[in-house]
């Protein structure tokens, strides 16, 4: 699910901002602004019942503007990200709602934090409870 969420965000950003480069996990040295950097922050999951789990996927989407001194561009981008990432669609067609969305302006860059909490069902191979049991029973000769 982690890669599906990151891909869905990347695809959404690419549709809306086709001229902006998008990096996932690593930024190449000598990158050119403007660009996005999608970073996964401490994903975790909790077993709810049986093979059903609730995941928590925290992301930091960083935006590096062309001009570091342009706070208007950062504020506009934060608002655009609020609008386009509220609900994302995965390649499989699942809709996921972004929660706890907030922005910070750090060193002339935008850090947009968003959380997704999808439920997942893990498919496990069924194991037989017991194999076939064969017994040899001899009659009781005491009777």
pTM summary value: 0.79
Q: In whole angstroms, how far apart are CA 86 and each of 26, 97, 101?
A: 24, 6, 8
- Print pLDDT tens along the chain (143 aa): 788 999 999 999 999 999 999 998 777 777 888 999 999 998 998 988 888 999 999 999 999 998 877 788 999 999 999 999 999 999 988 899 999 999 999 988 999 999 999 988 887 766 666 667 677 777 777 65
Domain boundaries, the chain: 2-121
| Topology (CATH) of 2-121 | STM4215-like (3.30.2000)
Round to whole Å and give the CA distance between 38 and 141.
79
| Pair type for strands 35-49 and 21-24 | parallel
**Is 11 strand, coil or helix?**
helix
């Amino acid at each position: 699910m982690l890669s599906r969420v990151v891909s869905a965000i990347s695809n959404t950003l690419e549709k809306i901002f086709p001229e902006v480069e998008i990096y996932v996990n690593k930024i190449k040295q000598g990158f050119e602004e403007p660009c996005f950097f999608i970073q996964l922050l401490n994903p975790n999951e909790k077993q709810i019942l049986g093979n059903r789990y609730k995941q928590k996927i925290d992301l930091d989407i960083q935006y590096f503007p062309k001009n570091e001194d342009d706070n208007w561009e950062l504020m506009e981008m934060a608002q655009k990200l609020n609008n386009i990432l509220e609900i994302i669609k995965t390649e499989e067609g699942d809709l996921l709602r972004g929660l706890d969305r907030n922005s910070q302006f750090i060193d002339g860059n935008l850090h947009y934090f968003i959380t997704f909490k999808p439920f997942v069902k893990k498919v496990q191979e069924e194991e037989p409870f017991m194999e076939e049991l064969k017994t040899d029973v001899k009659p009781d000769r005491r009777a």
